[in-house]
Amino acid sequence: MKRYLKVTSLDAALDLLSGGFSCRPETIRVPLEESAGRITAVPIIVRYSVPEIHVAAMDGIAVVSADTKSASEQHPVTLPKAVRVNTGNVIPQGFDAVIMIEDVWADGDRFTIRKAVPPWQHVRPAGEDIAESEMAMPAGHRIRPFELGALAAYGVTGVDVLAVRAGLIPTGSELVLPGTRPGPGQVVESNTVMAGSMLAEAGVTCTRYPIVKDDPAMIRDAVSRAVRENEIVIVSAGSSAGTRDFTAEVIAELGEVLVHGIAIKPGKPAIIGRISGKPVFGIPGYPLSAFTVIREIVLPFLRNYGLYVPVPDEIPARITGTLSKEIGSDEFVLCTLGKVGDRWVVSPQSRGAGVQMSAVRANAYLKVPSASEGWEVGEVVPARLMVTRQDAATALLVNGSHDPALDHLANLLQQQGVSLLSTNVGSMGGILALAKDECHAAPTHLLSPDGSYNTEYIKKYLPGAAIDLICVAGRQQGIVSRDKLSLKDLPYRSFINRQRGSGTRMLLDFELSRAGIDPVSIAGYEREATTHIAVALAVKSGEADAGMCVYSAARALDLPFVPVAQERYELAVRREHEGDSRVAALIRAVGSAEFRNILDRLGGYDTTETGSVRKVA
């Protein structure tokens, strides 16, 4: 069992990186048309003035300003000397002003004016834009797309820009190439795809090398080659301290390991090494660990080459759940961020390092500092944006019970520029988030003993609040299994349940009690999944014999489904937010014919009441 040499703090690792390497980028010449977003390697000095000589700034006549001195409305002057010019024409020698054609009475080539003009009126003097020998841009300037026009006008056809080459080496005997369907225990090699895309955005030219098996000699060959061919090398996976982890050993053999283990979460098994004076990074195999190491260590390091890596924008936001951590590591947590009423709120996502969807769903992240024990619910914390500030403001926060229909609503809303971000916390979780004004809408299906849905819970947890319940659908819940089991078959079968507080769990308990079945008789009653599809999948994979979920989830995985009950799945919304354009768009989308068609196609939904609104208080 190998161990980490010594875990290094993030700050120390970054310091070491900025001091430990010479970081000399290459200079390459790119055609002007491909230069947007790149960094100038040298100042751009213009070789001729623009314009090079005086030209007319308007369509009109070139005149000698002195000839116009006595002209007025009362005393029109017919000019002794004038010549027709269009915008951009050279001002002929001896002339020093232009009069707009609209202000001239022309009779053949005789021109009469009624107003004196000062010298150099409507003349673009030579060098007005830029003069020969002037610096259009310093070195280190990031070229913005619109600047290509100016550069073209100044005679620039190619630009010397900074270039850094990175070699990306995927290692792991379990890896298969993208496009190959992974067999049991295999994984698609995706970390170098991600790294390549993130580095390319910073202007790095990446080479993805072939997958290398967990074999020290083969890894050594690959690393040697990549170090020869690039300024930076990244080795994906094998960076931990396990028996199959060879990255550190190989780097130590070819050069030196400067850091093995960085005090960040996720991302601890990271390596910083140096071979032939060049930095070699070992990044962890878990995708979100790799993401974190690239974002927090590799990308900031690229600034030492003069490359442009934006500093994330931050918004102070109220955190909707307590975030605990141990002292000693900087911890990074992916989040959904949105503005409810006048207040920004931020909700931490799953912290599983293998759950890439939590990055796809996230529009922000938190950095909880090493010295902190975490943050209490309700604290205002700095959320770092993964989208623009303006885009974060379009987020529609939907917290509550999950249904596949929400993804389809998200799809409809995205076309209107609204990003529906759903956090699956179950119906009760949603009601509580709504009570704290931490979400825009709470999808809920909570059954009361009197057989009614949702209203009693709203009255209890949001007393006096003006709430609208917008019906998504009457929704079929039932037992999913491989063998067409029904509720009464559950005892002594292995079961996969939903989490406490979810409407499905409550419905199950209600129906079990009606059927006189004791939950204790159900193996796996304690095992929780957080979505319908996760339940269906557990059944499909054989992990459980049965579970309860909505029809669409069973159908998506082609599993038998035995209906148990139809429930009212509604979105609870504070009436005061309905003027908000995002909430209004949500309500419109639920009521649209398109959405109803989608539900009908998915199956298991009674759409008779879809879009109808019930008022509570």
* Residues of this chain, 523-552, that bind a copy of itself according to CB under 8 A: 527, 529, 531, 533-534, 536-538, 540-541, 543
* Residues of this chain, 184-243, that bind a copy of itself according to CB under 8 A: 184-185, 187-191, 193-198, 200-201, 240, 242-243
Query: What is the 3 state secondary structure string of 45-93?
Result: ECCCCECCCCEECCCEEEECHHHHCCCCCCCCEECCCEEEECCCCECCC
Q: Which is nearer to a copy of itself, 46 or 251 (CB)?
A: 46
Spatial distance between the Cα atoms of 325 and 132, rounded to a whole number of angstroms: 60
60, 122 in Cβ contact below 8 A?
yes
Is residue 359 part of the contact set for a copy of itself (CB under 8 A)? Answer: yes
Structure tokens at 572: 């609870």
Helix (H) or strand (E) holding 540: helix 532-540
Q: How far is the CB of 515 from a copy of itself (least distance, A)?
A: 26
Q: How far is the CB of 466 from a copy of itself (least distance, A)?
A: 30
Is residue 316 part of the contact set for a copy of itself (CB under 8 A)? Answer: no
Total chain residues near a copy of itself (CB under 8 A):
126
Contact pick of 137, 226, 467, 590 for a copy of itself (by CB under 8 A):
137
Stretch binding a copy of itself (CB under 8 A), from 74-82, 175-183, 436-444, 502-510:
175-183
Q: How far is the CB of 431 from a copy of itself (least distance, A)?
A: 25
Q: Which is nearer to a copy of itself, 313 or 511 (CB)?
A: 313
Stretch binding a copy of itself (CB under 8 A), from 4-12, 140-148, 422-430, 502-510:
140-148
Is residue 300 part of the contact set for a copy of itself (CB under 8 A)? Answer: no
Is residue 389 part of the contact set for a copy of itself (CB under 8 A)? Answer: yes
Q: Which is nearer to a copy of itself, 217 or 357 (CB)?
A: 357
99 Cβ contact list (under 8 Å, min separation 6): 60, 61, 63, 68, 111, 113, 117, 121, 122
Binding mask 548-587 for a copy of itself (x = CB under 8 A): --------xx------------------------------
b/e 186-221 (16+ beta carbons within 10 angstroms → b): ebebebbbbbbebbeebbbebbbbebbebeeeebbe
361 Cβ contact list (under 8 Å, min separation 6): 334, 336, 349, 421, 422
Q: Which is nearer to a copy of itself, 51 or 255 (CB)?
A: 51
Is residue 144 part of the contact set for a copy of itself (CB under 8 A)? Answer: yes
Q: Are strands 395-400 and 343-348 parallel, antiparallel or unpaired?
A: unpaired
91 Cβ contact list (under 8 Å, min separation 6): 53, 54, 55, 56, 62, 85, 98, 123
Contact pick of 10, 23, 82, 136 for a copy of itself (by CB under 8 A):
136
Q: How far is the CB of 250 from a copy of itself (least distance, A)?
A: 18
> Is the preceding omega at residue 463 within 30 degrees of 0, hence cis?
no
> How many of the other CB atoms lie within 10 Å of CB of 78?
13
Q: How far is the CB of 380 from a copy of itself (least distance, A)?
A: 19
**What DSSP letter does each residue of 10-42 carry, written as one string?**
HHHHHHHHHHH-----EEEEEEGGG-TT-BBSS
Q: How far is the CB of 362 from a copy of itself (least distance, A)?
A: 10
* Residues of this chain, 443-472, that bind a copy of itself according to CB under 8 A: none
Q: How far is the CB of 10 from a copy of itself (least distance, A)?
A: 19
Stretch binding a copy of itself (CB under 8 A), from 4-12, 352-360, 422-430, 464-472:
352-360
Amino acid identity of 53?
A: I
- Sheet strands (E) in 410-522: 419-424, 441-444, 467-481, 495-498
Contact pick of 116, 148, 254, 465 for a copy of itself (by CB under 8 A):
148
Binding mask 69-88 for a copy of itself (x = CB under 8 A): -----------------xxx
Q: Which is nearer to a copy of itself, 379 or 407 (CB)?
A: 407
Binding mask 89-118 for a copy of itself (x = CB under 8 A): xx----------xx----------------
Contact pick of 261, 287, 430, 611 for a copy of itself (by CB under 8 A):
287
Torsion angles phi and psi, residue 253, rounded to 5: -70, -40
User: Which letter does DSSP use for residue 390 in this model?
Assistant: H
With CA atoms as reference, report the closest residue to 388 among 410, 363, 406.
Answer: 363
Q: Which is nearer to a copy of itself, 208 or 568 (CB)?
A: 208
Contact pick of 4, 83, 125, 249 for a copy of itself (by CB under 8 A):
125
Q: How far is the CB of 59 from a copy of itself (least distance, A)?
A: 4
503, 448 in Cβ contact below 8 A?
no
* Residues of this chain, 21-60, that bind a copy of itself according to CB under 8 A: 32-33, 36, 43, 48-55, 57, 59
> How many of the other CB atoms lie within 10 Å of CB of 11?
12
Q: How far is the CB of 22 from a copy of itself (least distance, A)?
A: 15
Q: How far is the CB of 537 from a copy of itself (least distance, A)?
A: 4
Helix (H) or strand (E) holding 407: helix 404-414
347, 365 in Cβ contact below 8 A?
no
Q: Are strands 55-56 and 123-124 parallel, antiparallel or unpaired?
A: antiparallel
Q: How far is the CB of 106 from a copy of itself (least distance, A)?
A: 9
Q: Which is nearer to a copy of itself, 232 or 258 (CB)?
A: 232
* Residues of this chain, 243-282, that bind a copy of itself according to CB under 8 A: 243-244
Q: Which is nearer to a copy of itself, 253 or 543 (CB)?
A: 543
Q: Which is nearer to a copy of itself, 89 or 566 (CB)?
A: 89
Give the residue carrying structure tokens 């004038």. Answer: 82
CA dihedral of residues 32, 37, 39, 45 (deg, nearest 10):
40
With CA atoms as reference, report the closest residue to 283 among 164, 374, 364, 193.
Answer: 193
Alpha carbon 556 to chain centroid distance?
27
Q: Which is nearer to a copy of itself, 32 or 254 (CB)?
A: 32
